[in-house]
Structures are given as structure tokens and as C-alpha cells.
Amino acid sequence: MGLTPASDQEVADAFAEIAARAGTTTPIGGGTRSRCGTVVGDTTFISSGALQGIVEHVPAELTATVRVGTPVQELAAHLAERGQWWPQADIRDLSTVGGIISAAASGRRRLRYGPLRDSVLEVVLVTGDGRVVRGGGPTVKGVAGYDLPRLMVGARGTLGFLTQVTLKLTPLPPARAWFSLSDDTTARMIAARALIGDPRRPTAIVLSPGHVHVELAGAPEDIAPPPGFQPADEPIAPIGAAVVDVGVPANRLVDVIEQVEAMGLPYLAQFGVGVCQVALSELAELHPLRALAEGLGGHTIVADAPDAFRTDPWGRLPDGVGIMDRMRRAFDPYGILSPGHRVGGAA
């Protein structure tokens, strides 16, 4: 069963009907990040498809207010025509603005531009009990009480249904290019560490099997290959039956890379950030990765997988899971929102 509300009030009305019959609801945007969380049987999908459009773009303030069902490529094209972009977002075909925020889908340029949460200034959402709430501010990130914009980044609909967001933008650099170097693991690590200190401030340094990749952005005269590097296409994400996100302290990423390469798995690791996407072919490959990451103080989350991989998508629960439960009860007292994404499984 699915609904496509066209206004905040229609979302609130849908929530009231679902709560009255003790049902649950799961939001969906473009569906590009929907194979995650635990598998849920009977739930009402609520689509953001009718909540589209750029409400306001203020180039002088480097801000844009957007309805969450807006295809992110449509937003990117609009911004590019005006010399601006949203570099923190991981843009995929068919992704929506709300889906990216809900999934906390920071892109590869986090090294230079920071995580996605730093770009979200203001949000409008409908809570599980039908309140329409606005949090943050369109120009300055002042916080009184809950920092709603940051809370909604990565909440995957467990705190409310996003309907509108205001984003902080960045001037589009006049030139960008990717470069790549092929070598053994030790040489690639040395090259990656050297790039961290490059005065041109790379937007991304990414390692994959046998390669280290770097993106440079800025004035055209600054876009030249570092020593030993050659011009290259942007690296593609690893492909497998399932993809997991491994996160560890940035200085321990090399331990993850060594384990993944020993296992012969496709991967893409963000050097200087501590994030590594790994493609798996079978569930048994998840356990050694999770044990390693948790031993380093990190985590391994099943990000995109068929049902068989999703019996335990989170691994060891975070220390703050009790706080997360209390937050959910405050925003969703009837327990209707996103049952498959409740870390720890509490209502």
C-alpha cells in the first residue's frame, strides 16, 4: 500500500489514519537507498513524489529552499546554471533531496567540504503525531532546544516525514578533474598521505583495489596531476550482492583496507575521512569486517542489500541507543514511523 501526499496537512492526515489502525509507515523518495534496515512486512509507504520544486534560491546568500521530493539532479542542474552546487551530497540517478538527507548520504567530497549535516540549515517535517514542525533557520544555524536539521540527517524517517529543507550551497569551482595512480598498497598509502598536505586541498582522496584517486577543484591552472598520477575518470562505487558501509577513526582506515584487500573484496575508501564502502558476495564476509571495525571503535552497517543480509543491519548498538529511543518517543508517540530503521528495534 502506498500514499503520495501533496502537502504537509495531507501527510498529517495520513499519519492520523495509520495511527488509528495501529499501523506503521515508511517514507520513500527515489528508492535508490531503500534496501537497508531490517525487513518489514506490512507497512504503508508514503512517497515524497508530489512534494517537488525549488521554493526559493537566493544566490547572494548561497541558500536554496527545496521540497524534498525534488530529484537531486534537477536541483544540481538548476544550481550549476547559476554557478553554485551542493558538494556534500552523494548524487545518484533518481535520488531525491529528501532521500539524501534522510540517509545522511555524504558524498566523496567530504574531505574538503565536510559532511552532509553541515549543509542543512532548516527543515520542515511532520511528526508521528501530526505536528508540522520547522527547525533551524534559512541563513544562520542557531540552535534553541533540539537541533532539528542535524537530527533529521540520517534519521531515515524515524522522527518525522521531511517535507521541505533549506540548504547551504557553495560556489561552483571553475575547474575540476580526477587523477589516478596504480601501485601496491604501501605506495598508495604514501601517495594518499602526501595528498592530504597538498596546498591545492583535494576535494576527495579515494582508494580502490590497486589504485589511489584524487579530485582537484579550483582555478584551471591548479588542476594538474600530482607526481605519478594520470588523468582518470571518477571511480565507480563497488558492486556486489550487497554493499556495506564501514566507518572507523580516519587514522585506522588502513587497517580496514588491508583486511578488505586480503579478502579480495571490491571497495572504495575515503582517505582522511574513515569511510569505506565494501561489496560482498555472501553474508559470511560481513562478520570479519564487522569484528575488525568494532574492534577499532567503528561500525559496519548494511547499506544496500537483499533481505538475507538484513537480519542484523546495524551490528553492535551505539552507547546512545537509549537516548535515541527517548527521542523517537517524543517525535513519534504512537510508534508508527519507519519500523525497519529503528536502531535497537524499540518503538
| pLDDT value of residue 343 | 87
Average pLDDT of the residues in 171-200: 95
Report the distance separating Cα 176 and Cα 128, nearest Å: 43
Average pLDDT of the residues in 304-329: 92
| pLDDT value of residue 138 | 77
220-265 pLDDT tens trace: 998 999 999 999 999 999 999 999 999 999 999 999 999 999 999 9
14-56 pLDDT tens trace: 999 999 999 999 999 999 999 999 999 899 999 999 999 999 9
Average pLDDT of the residues in 166-185: 96
Strand 44-47 vs strand 2-3: parallel, antiparallel, or unpaired? parallel
| pLDDT value of residue 145 | 58
288-304 pLDDT tens trace: 999 999 999 999 999 99
Strand order in the sheet with 54-58: 54-58, 63-67, 161-168, 120-126, 132-136
Q: Which residue has the higher pLDDT, 128 or 147?
A: 128
Q: What is the pTM of this model?
A: 0.93
Mean confidence (pLDDT) of the chain: 94
- The DSSP string of 63-100 is EEEEETTSBHHHHHHHHHHTTEE-TTB---TT-BHHHH
Report the distance separating Cα 273 and Cα 110, nearest Å: 7
Average pLDDT of the residues in 81-109: 96
- The answer on pLDDT for 81 being more than 80 is yes
Where do we find the cell 553492535? 316
Cα distances from 284 to residues 242, 244, 288, in angstroms, run: 12, 13, 8
Instruction: Tell me the CB-side half-sphere exposure of residue 51, using CA atoms within 13 A.
Output: 32
